[in-house]
Amino acid sequence: MISRRNWIRYSGAGVAASFIPTSHASQGRVVVIGGGFAGASVARELRRLNNALSVSLIEANAIYTACPLSNMVVGGHRKISQQQFSYAALSADGVNVIHQPAVDVDPERHLVTLRDGNTLNYEKLILAPGIDLDWQALQGYDKTAAELLPHAWKAGPQTTLLRDQLRSMREGGLVVMSVPKSPYRCPPGPYERASLIAGYLKQNNPRAKVLILDSKDSFSKKPLFLSAWQSLYGDIIEWQGESDGATVTAVNAENRTVSTDFETVQADVANIIPPQKAGKIAHLAGVTDRSGWCPIEPVTFSSTLQPDVHVIGDAAIANAMPKSAFAANAQAKLCAVQVTRLLNGESPVHGKLINTCYSLVAPDYGISVAGVYQPGEKIWTEIDGAGGVSPADASRETRAVEAAYAQRWFDNLTTQVFA
Amino acid sequence: MQATEPDPATAVSVQACYGCHARPGTEANGLVSFSARSALEITNKLKAYRSGELTSTVMNRISRGYSPAELESIAAHMAELTANEAPCSR
Amino acid sequence: MLKARISVPARARQGEIMAVKTLISHPMETGFRRNSLGQAIPRDILTRFECRYNEKPVFTATLHPAVAANPFIAFHVRAQDSGKLEFIWTDQDDQVTRVTRELTVDPAA
């Protein structure tokens, strides 16, 4: 158990700030697990909305490595350090940041257990664990295999591993990408990655090719990607979908082969993006369903399976809203409002949310998808008539503007969450 | 910040806008900022995006998710936040 | 003619059990769904699949609206004589897609 003394030690900077009087009366205690775009945002928002709240953020890593724009690292246009952020600003805002993993949640006793054995008690728990890769889903693909065939679907060492494999690939080599069925983190991400890999190859290894073996037939911004690939990269990228029999069923890490039901492809570099599920702590907390993801009440993001637990970001089943950094941040800001109101005994707000995602087909060629969403009784639905993707006939100037916006989108979002 | 309390749904919508646009008072290198714009100016711009009179990249697609009345409330709240937010706070 | 993929060995020993995998590109529209305007989307399904080995049916299946898009059918066939494997899909309007593969069978060891 965490002693009162320990609690104060853990609380750190939070203690001083929490004595500043506010108009809100609540002295609630909120624990957030996971310090990505969802978790870090909600922790900070809660303190901004009510600085009398005690907010603890449990995150194993001291440095966060962001996924958006990490394909630019793979393509050689950004440094991995430009993707990295610390939690110093959150601590300064009075969030009690604890850098160790949470190993258990007891929803009945409202208790979170940390790796060192200490426990934290909460009135409201917000789970933002993101994704775990499903190491059981693809024959031959486990953590050891990922050291040879990188997934690079969690930014960090995997990202630079893939980049370095591309750089040292033989002349005229074949890059094979395996893409899972939906839902997975960042729906257009694999295709942005294929684009930026093709851009790198065009410059540095022009006879090399990219083969995408996809487990589905349609994907986010497909017509825009296909036409951009044609015009920018000619025949460097080949895409095969489910109806081509391209669903990857097994890999062999030692031989670097990727197999479907109909063929085995010899790769020089293989980027295997495996099926995914909600982060492990969500399973331990009992908030996942048979799909491996977390069902929620749309308006409040509260779990339908456990009381006083909210789930936001990639782990949540937000229906029409994609698993994106922007959606995670938007959900976090709404969830912070709802949790603050619930702790004050107020009723939740019916608010609309936005998602905006940019994909870079080249550093100066951006395309976007946007959507506006509203919570229904059971699900988040996209508002008809709004949203959609960049026009198919946009000029190269527009593509360049969207590419510049992608960069500023990232800067704004990361400033808001981490700076 | 002692601004009049906005309707909570509007406040939620405005927060979503700050996913791309810099929050008043921040140094963020966000997309086009709202600083020094009046409620009327923002309203007119949002409505023009909604009707298609003005074209942009994502704003036409996003503004169509809101009614003209919602856009007015959003613009009013944004202008108020810009006017009230002290430069040192987030 | 629809796009189909077949996985079957080109060569086998007599008596060998061969794994056969087939996939055909087809929406398998059930007829029960509605589009965004609320109009029913007409049924469009494959109704029958057959595999013939030297003219003799060795595997048949009847397909129904519950079968998912891009039907994947896998089964086993015992290698007997060299010859022809035919794969035949028939849709609700009797349109036929036919793919043929040659098979060489070596005498049992």
pLDDT in tens, B28-52: 666 777 766 789 999 999 999 999 9
Query: Domain map of chain C by residue range?
Result: 4-32+43-106
Residues of chain B contacting A405 with CB distance shorter than 8 Å: 20, 31, 57-58
Residues of chain C contacting A243 with CB distance shorter than 8 Å: 3, 23-26, 69-70
**C68 interface with A at CB cutoff 8 Å:** no
Q: What is the dihedral of CA A191, A194, A197, A203, to 10 degrees?
A: -100
**Residue B54 within a domain:** yes
**Residue B65 within a domain:** yes
The residue type found at C56 is K
Structural domain of residue B32, as residue ranges? 8-83
Neighbours of chain C (3+ CB pairs under 8 A): A
- Minimum-distance CB partner of A261 among C7, C24, C25: C7
**Residue B32 within a domain:** yes
Helix (H) or strand (E) holding B13: helix B8-17
What's the mean pLDDT in A227-241? 97
Residues of chain C contacting A245 with CB distance shorter than 8 Å: 5, 23
pTM (2 d.p.):
0.90
Phi, psi of A263 (to 5 degrees): -160, 165
Q: What is the dihedral of CA A200, A203, A205, A209, to 10 degrees?
A: 60
Cα separation, B18 vs A330, in Å, equals 9
pLDDT in tens, A182-209: 999 999 999 999 999 999 999 999 999 9
Across the interface, do B8 and A337 touch by the CB < 8 Å criterion?
yes
**Residue B30 within a domain:** yes
Q: Domains of chain A by range and CATH?
A: 4-130+279-418 (3.50.50.60), 145-272 (3.50.50.60)
Which tokens sit at B87? 């430069």
Could you tell me if A33 and A309 are in contact, meaning their C-beta atoms sit under 8 angstroms apart? no
Helix (H, G, I), strand (E, B), or coil: what is residue A123? coil
Nearest to A335 by CA among A90, A68, A40: A40
Looking at domain C4-32+43-106, its CATH architecture is Sandwich (2.60)
- Interface B:A, ≥3 CB–CB pairs < 8 Å: yes
Nearest to A126 by CA among A337, A352, A349: A337
Cα separation, C6 vs A72, in Å, equals 38
Determine the pLDDT at residue B27.
Answer: 65
The residue type found at C37 is L
Domains identified in chain B, total number? 1
Helix (H, G, I), strand (E, B), or coil: what is residue C64? coil
Bridge pairing between strands C96-106 and C11-13: parallel
**Residue B90 within a domain:** no
Across the interface, do A244 and C36 touch by the CB < 8 Å criterion?
no
Q: What is the CATH number of the domain that holds B54?
A: 1.10.760.10
Determine the pLDDT at residue A86.
Answer: 98
What's the mean pLDDT in A290-298? 97
pLDDT in tens, A95-153: 999 999 999 999 999 999 999 999 999 999 999 999 999 999 999 999 999 999 999 99
Give me the count of residues in chain C.
109
* Cβ within 8 Å of C, A 199-228: 217
Nearest to B34 by CA among B54, B59, B51: B59
pLDDT in tens, A162-181: 999 999 999 999 999 999 99
Cα separation, C99 vs C8, in Å, equals 12
Cα separation, A379 vs A329, in Å, equals 19
